[in-house]
Chains A and B, each alone.
Chain A
Amino acid sequence: MSALRDAFLSAVVALGLFGPMVGLVADNAERGLTLRVRPIPVAVVVGLVFFGRLAALSLRSRRRSAAVASNRALAEIVTRAGKYVAPLLLVLAVALPFSGSRYYVDLGTLVLTYIMLGWGLNIVVGLAGLLDLGYVAFYAVGAYSYAILAQTFGLGFWTCLPLAGILAALWGILLGFPVLRLRGDYLAIVTLAFGEIIRIVITNWVSLTNGPNGISGIPRPTLFGLTFSMDGGPGTVSGFFGIEPQTIQRVIFLYYVILGLALITNWVTLRLRRMPQGRAWEALREDEVACRSLGINVTTTKLTAFAMGAMFGGFAGAFFATRQAFISPESFTFIESATVLAIVVLGGLGSQLGVALAAIIMVGGLELLRQLLSWMADQMGSPLFAGIASALPLYRMLIFGVALVLMMVLRPRGLVSGRTPTASLGKPKEISAELVAQGRG
């Protein structure tokens, strides 16, 4: 009986939500817009919610006790499979350019950029437990550092890359100082403001950054001094190796550059985690007061976390600038920070593999979903589906949102939620997420 009532309530909520969204259509008529009412799709959606909820409730009551065990078993499987997932992903990543498809290499480059950003932010949020909503600021600092240094002093990508990282790290420390005493929500607000400040300064400091028009003509990276220009002359890759100049050579080169940068980020993070600095970050996340009582300088620990995270953000930013050859403040809005933070949270705070998986799903998956939907729309040639087919690609974000909500319901602490100890006397055991603190800032 209570299940019936619950399902009825869900149906009412669905009616309220989907009634206006699905039931009302604005048509372009001769004399302006006209409103058309579609009761049948609404009835279908509400019916689906009603019976779906009923089915879910009866299923749950039957398997309530089994659910906990199966959840744990699932975690076990994920942990064990994790050993093979990471090498498999690496092999796939290295092999991707051999597909020869420019589309997939470009998509791979985008995904890897977000993986790198996620790994960088993971140091701050996942390890040190400092919630940072303005991570895009360091990405912007890196991108603009490279663009301005290259345009003003004519420096190349490989010279500017470390400089961009160092400049971003300095800004990370600069942000670190005012927020040292802040925790949790307060920290989040200040970092959010910091991200906006950087963007607004870039927009308005026209003499340096060219304002909203952005900087164009940013030089591409070189391979040991060889450029990827199309003329095939002596100073170019194609001229040196005696091959036909093609755009895809540069695209593939860029792909391997970001793959290398991301792997360096991962290597440094994994190594630091096993060293006193990384342990201090995690200890800080677990209990700041206890850290102080053990003689750990909380100030420097926080600042190094901000600096390291910012540095990798800066590297990624410099790469972004050289890949796009054009940057403008529009690329560094809050939604970027939110996406990267969502990748870290969805992946599981502190988990390198989880962040990589989450970036693949969030960035690659969204793009593939778009492809899938437009392919499906093409297949629905028959007039029966005519209305749905054209609208199908528009449901992309809705489907994606539902998928994200489902993921967080099923795995509330992220895809890979356990914590691997950094030292052990015997065989290391995975630590369950319930015991691991999420950091209060």
Chain B
Amino acid sequence: MLAVSGLTMRFGGLKAVDDLSFEARQNEITAVIGPNGAGKTTVFNCITGFYRPSGGIIELTHDNGRRFTLNHMSGHRIAATAKVARTFQNIRLFAGMTVLENLLVAQHNTLMAATGFGIMGLLGIGGYRAAEAAAVDRARYWLDAIALTARADDPAGALPYGAQRRLEIARAMCIDPVMLCLDEPAAGLNPRETEELNRMLLRIRDGGCSLLLIEHDMGVVMRISDHIVVLDHGRMISDGTPAEVRSDPGVIAAYLGEGEEDEVTA
């Protein structure tokens, strides 16, 4: 469903991503792993429109056959029309807004259409009330899913770290995405929270949303991924099922730091 081909991203003289091609399939969890600085987050930023790639094509195909060339789209349209949601490595919640408000902001485009772009809602005509009630119901569904219903009226910034991570995922899910990109969702979580996260991600996948995942926690990656892409120095060094990747000598070398010869040949 997501096809990346020949993706290149240059920052000045530095090639953060170099001619990367991979595919993420429908209803699968695709993990992108690699040592620090391998270019994983850069790939994410290219897919979600935060960077404009220096070269290559990123194409997304929906269930109904609609195709989007993401490398030509701006960030907000990738989320709004191509329905690719993302979370951030350093959590980016609206800290001064309540948990519920965070989930309502995520449904901005649906609600905005219902208010007649503000004018009809201002005058109190049209179906805004019904749309708002539906939005609150959807928010409530996700609050139940992440076990935060009791804290719905607390500011998001006052939540503990693990809850903030869950809320950020729920907020991304509120835009009704076909693909969810998670940038290190397990970072900073304790083992129990990681376990909950695993279950939640599998449930999201089974609900019909494909996942793209950057993660350092191999426990998460190996257990839930259907497909793993390994990057090193901006290039793909391995691509396959968890079992295949685990036994790939190139991957082991990259992770154990046996990179001297690699660099010379590169």
User: A interface vs B, CB < 8 Å?
Assistant: 268, 271-272, 275-277, 279-280, 282-283, 286-287, 289-298, 304, 419, 421-429, 431-432, 435-437
Contact = CB atoms under 8 A, between A and B. Distances in A.
Given A295-B81, A422-B101, A428-B153, 14 more contacts: A279-B105, A286-B97, A287-B94, A289-B50, A292-B79, A294-B76, A294-B85, A294-B105, A295-B109, A421-B100, A423-B104, A425-B100, A431-B97, A436-B95
B136 interface: yes
Nearest to A271: B122
A286 B149 contact: no
A419 B122 CA distance: 21
Interface in B142-181: 149, 152-155, 157-158, 171-172, 174-175
Contacts, number: 143
B121 interface: yes
Contact of A419 (B77, B96, B153, B172): B96
A293 B96 contact: no
A295 B108 contact: yes
B76 A295 contact: yes
Contact of A296 (B96, B105, B140): B105
Contacts of B128: 275
Nearest to B48: A293
A294 B106 contact: yes
A321 to B, nearest CB: 27
10 contacts: A271-B121, A272-B118, A282-B97, A289-B92, A292-B50, A295-B77, A297-B76, A421-B98, A423-B104, A425-B140
7 tightest A-B contacts by CB?
A436-B96, A295-B80, A295-B79, A286-B94, A276-B111, A435-B157, A290-B92
A423 B94 CA distance: 14
Contacts of A432: 155
A314 B49 CA distance: 37
A282 B104 CA distance: 12
B92 A287 contact: yes
Interface residues of B, number: 50
Interface of B: 48-50, 75-81, 85-86, 88, 92-98, 100-101, 104-109, 111-112, 115, 117-118, 121-122, 128, 132, 136, 140, 149, 152-155, 157-158, 171-172, 174-175
B94 A283 contact: yes
Contacts of A268: 122
A8 B172 CA distance: 58
A51 B230 CA distance: 70
A277 B108 CA distance: 8
B108 A282 contact: no
Contacts of B111: 275-276
A279 B118 contact: no
A295 B175 contact: yes
Contacts of B175: 294-295
Nearest to A292: B75
